Amino acid sequence: MRSPRPTSPPRPARRRGPRRFAALLLGVAATLFPTAVPAGASAPPPVPGTLQAYDIGSVFSAGVSSGGYMATQLHVAYSGTFEGSASFASGPYDCARGLLATALNACMDTTQNLQLATLEQATRDRSAQGQVDPVENLAGDPVYVFSGSGDSTVKRPVADALADYYGRFGARVQYNRSTAAGHAWITPLGPNSCTVTQTPFLNNCGIDAEGALLGHLFGSVAAPGSGTGGSLIRFDQNAYAPGGSATALSMGAEGFAYVPASCAQGASCKLLVALHGCKQGYAYQGFGTRFVENAYLNEYADTNDMIVLYPQAAPTATLENPNGCWNWWGYLGDTAYARHGGKQIEAIMGMVRALRGTGTEPPTGDRTVLSSTDAEDGYVKAAADGSGAAVGTLEDVYGLALGRGTDGKVNRSVVSFDTSRIPAGKEITRAWLTVTRSSGSGDPWASPAGNRLLVDLRTGCFGGCAVEPGDWSAAASVAGAARIDAFSSGSTVSTDLSTGALAALNRGGVTQFRLGFASAPSATAYLFVNQAAPVTLTVEYR
């Protein structure tokens, strides 16, 4: 029996600070990094190219607003890869929990409680289920948080919660809350004054925030250079988008990477993934490379052996994401947006791995983890012979039902996956389901003795893709595709899908699985699964 495993390899051991439950709040004075004011933005003109492999050790993330949320998502989901993060004007990991209303009212405004303890526990649960890397990796990681008192877009208590969130996992948090900055990336090259909130959302507050955040992430930092000593590579983001279309993910066709001469010549370098905010992407209304040129990161890259990767989000033509924000609330139906399998996350991870020389095609590596589609998941109850079937109504309260309930009905559950996200042209070698027990009564595996919980597979949907009564007895494409052995708590994985089931996975759309006991339990004996998180399908390929 396997246990769920993180998809990132363990990173080299490094010294970590003690676990702490409150963030270390450091009011960073404006004079902490005194420098002469730079003359103005400068960067070499972009040149077409591809992401080549370099000698990269440590990897970090940084972002502003939606980019700050994405920087945190990358750090938490792939903490085996990312060793620290910096965020301007954003809040805690998966604050929105897949709901736009929560994003607006709890994670930007404060009219709704963002429920920090719930966010912490959800992160720990995802770690236990293998949906994000082990949370133990976060202990001792450097985290930089910035919030200005003039920011009415993402209000101060939301950023406070980000600092507190990381502190609960033992991260070393440096929190600059000393200025009256508006909603912006803070940079000496910013054309805006400190307190405003307006395009291009690049504000000059008379401080060197980049020197501060990089000094905290790296431990020390050399003075900045000109920002023109390297190459600015313009590359095709479609090459890293799951499914091959960046547009389908609300990402731009073009991304950028600044590569200093030292890194190009073979020096051991660090990698910073820098994420713009809403209305700052290259493809947003002619915004172009203003963030790339004015973020004041290329200047430090030249003198600190640091490659800067600038992935690009892009606006949708619909109302899903008209401002070209990064996905931090689950738009375009991506329910995995904040964890392994999230489409934008996997695209960026593909870029990171390409730069590190450990893979170039998306989703990266040889495995993808798909989350079931909540709107199409559910359970059906019927008599033991299948008569009187009806859709169950307690999913939101208890989860997906299996076995014989107190009403004497026998329950079967159906879960749905978008298996078109498995990379085209890859040979699937192995796949399995992961389920998490929520509650139950009795032992349906022992009623009758030797009962088996079987997994049937349907290429496409058993009926309509939304659960319906006929799903209880509808024909499967592959019956008994896998088995789930008895477990009394936590998460477990099925046996590997059979060879026939692997071949039956729908590479062009939806695949559904039906979970049910081979024999109707002779007495009340049931369990509920996955009340708080989706079932996952892990697929390995080559």
Distance, CA of 128 to CA of 339 (rounded, Å): 13
- At 218, the amino acid letter reads F
pLDDT score of 425 more than 90: no
- DSSP conformation letters of 466-533: S--GGGGTPPPSEEEEEEE---SSSEEEPPPPPHHHHHHS-TTSEEEEEEEESS--SSSEEEEE-SSS
pLDDT score of 15 more than 80: no
pLDDT score of 422 more than 50: yes
Beta bridge partners of 369: 538
Comparing 135-139, 172-176, 493-497, which segment has the lowest mean pLDDT?
Answer: 493-497
In the residue annotation, 127 being an active-site residue is answered as no
In the residue annotation, 183 being an active-site residue is answered as yes
Residue 177 corresponds to which tokens in the numbers above? Answer: 């809350």
Distance, CA of 470 to CA of 473 (rounded, Å): 6
- At 300, the amino acid letter reads Y
pLDDT tens digit string along 130-157?
899 999 999 999 999 999 999 999 999 9
pLDDT tens digit string along 249-302?
999 999 999 999 999 999 999 999 999 999 999 999 999 999 999 999 999 999
Of the residues 75, 183, 216, 340, which is catalytic? 183
Q: What is the mean pLDDT of residues 46-63?
A: 95
Residue partners of 242: CB distance under 8 A and separation at least 6: 249, 343, 346, 347, 362, 363, 368, 421, 423
pLDDT score of 401 more than 70: yes
Residue 109 Cα distances to 95, 277, 497, angstroms: 12, 17, 46
Contact status, residue 47 vs residue 233, Cβ threshold 8 Å:
yes
Q: Between these two residues, 29 and 199, which has the higher pLDDT value?
A: 199
- What pLDDT was estimated at residue 130? 87
In the residue annotation, 276 being an active-site residue is answered as no
pLDDT tens digit string along 328-346?
999 999 999 999 999 999 9
With H, G, I as helix, E, B as strand and everything else as coil, classify residue 265.
coil
pLDDT score of 459 more than 80: yes
Place of tokens 């406070």: 160
The count of residues in the chain is 542
In degrees, rounded to 5, the angle at the alpha carbon of residue 496 between the alpha carbons of residues 137 and 241 is 55
* Pure H helices in 20-174: 66-77, 100-105, 116-128, 156-168
Q: What is the mean pLDDT of residues 83-103?
A: 97
Tally of CB atoms within 10 A around 34: 11
Q: What average pLDDT is seen over the chain?
A: 89
pLDDT score of 1 more than 70: no
- What pLDDT was estimated at residue 244? 86
Buried b (16+ CB within 10 A) or exposed e, 162-200: bbbbbbbbbbbbbbbbbbebbbbbbbbbbebebbebeeb
Of the residues 141, 151, 305, 418, which is catalytic? 151
Buried b (16+ CB within 10 A) or exposed e, 238-277: bbbbbbeebeebbbbbbbbbbbbebbeeeeebbbbbbbbb
Where does the pLDDT of residue 2 fall: very low under 50, low under 70, confident under 90, or very high at 90 and above?
very low
Of the residues 8, 58, 61, 65, which is catalytic? 65
Q: What is the pTM for the complete model shown?
A: 0.65
- What pLDDT was estimated at residue 40? 54
In degrees, rounded to 5, the angle at the alpha carbon of residue 347 between the alpha carbons of residues 342 and 350 is 120
Distance, CA of 97 to CA of 273 (rounded, Å): 24
pLDDT tens digit string along 227-260?
888 999 999 999 999 888 999 999 999 999 999 9
